């Protein structure tokens, strides 16, 4: 399905194109605290998961696209699996949207539910999803049970950090966002240390130093 700059895959071939683009930068089988990104030596900013699934994240995507020259963004859901979506809800969980159509197109993809079951829409059902720009210079990972969204970029600072979504240091995110009622048990000391280790200089992962106050 296409229209207004939004393209939702109608079949396996179109979805595979989205999946291949995203999984070049993100391993769809990994879950935090394992690092989901396949690229190293980049910077990662951390925010709360719910931002990724709403209209409020559009300015972040627009800023990333403007800086890195993306003509479109690509999103896929990795949990539940694509086969689960196809079997139970009649569509494949992903879409492409032109950057000049993000204002309406991003939410259109997130809220798409051809089965007329609102709960099947990506914004309500996804447990893990990934987003990239068409230049493959940045990548985003969101994981519901950790209540985190990670934005990986080549540059430490940029306008996406001032686009209305509060980004915080990783330790602050763990303290304030996880565990949540979605996480069945508290994070262990090992899980916490594994996650934070990805942000050390030795790991090759940088992090934004900007830490707006939590809402």
The whole-number average pLDDT for the span 163-185 is 83
Q: What is the pTM of this model?
A: 0.90
pLDDT tier at 178, thresholds 50, 70, 90: confident
Distances (CA, A) of 89 to 64, 112, 113: 31, 11, 8
pLDDT tier at 177, thresholds 50, 70, 90: confident
Residue 203's pLDDT is what?
A: 37
Residue 154's pLDDT is what?
A: 96
Is residue 60 over pLDDT 60? yes
Give the Cα-Cα-Cα angle 21, 22, 26 (nearest 5 degrees).
135
- At 37, list the tokens: 């990104």
The CA distance from 137 to 134, in Å, is 8
pLDDT tier at 180, thresholds 50, 70, 90: low
The whole-number average pLDDT for the span 123-140 is 97
The CA distance from 68 to 85, in Å, is 32
The CA distance from 124 to 8, in Å, is 17
Q: Which residue has the higher pLDDT, 104 or 215?
A: 104
Q: Which residue has the tokens 């079949």?
A: 11
140: DSSP letter: E
Residue 4's pLDDT is what?
A: 73
């Amino acid at each position: 399905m296409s229209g207004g700059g939004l393209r939702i895959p109608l079949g396996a071939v179109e979805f595979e194109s989205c999946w291949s683009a995203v999984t070049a930068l993100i391993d769809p089988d990994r879950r935090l605290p394992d690092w989901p990104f396949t690229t190293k030596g980049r910077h990662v900013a951390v925010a709360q998961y719910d931002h990724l699934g709403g209209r409020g994240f559009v300015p972040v995507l627009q800023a990333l696209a403007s800086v890195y020259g993306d003509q479109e963004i690509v999103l896929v859901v990795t949990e539940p699996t694509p086969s689960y979506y196809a079997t139970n809800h009649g569509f494949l969980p992903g879409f492409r949207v032109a950057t000049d159509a993000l204002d309406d197109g991003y939410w259109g993809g997130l809220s798409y539910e051809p089965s007329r079951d609102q709960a099947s829409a990506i914004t309500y059902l996804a447990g893990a999803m990934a987003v990239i720009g068409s230049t493959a210079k940045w990548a985003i990972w969101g994981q519901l049970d950790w209540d985190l969204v990670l934005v990986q970029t080549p540059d430490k600072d940029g306008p996406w950090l001032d686009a209305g979504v509060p980004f915080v240091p990783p330790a602050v995110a763990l303290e304030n966002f996880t565990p949540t009622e979605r996480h069945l048990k508290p994070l262990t000391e090992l899980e916490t240390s594994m996650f934070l280790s990805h942000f050390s200089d030795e790991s090759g992962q940088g992090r934004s130093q900007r830490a707006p106050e939590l809402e």
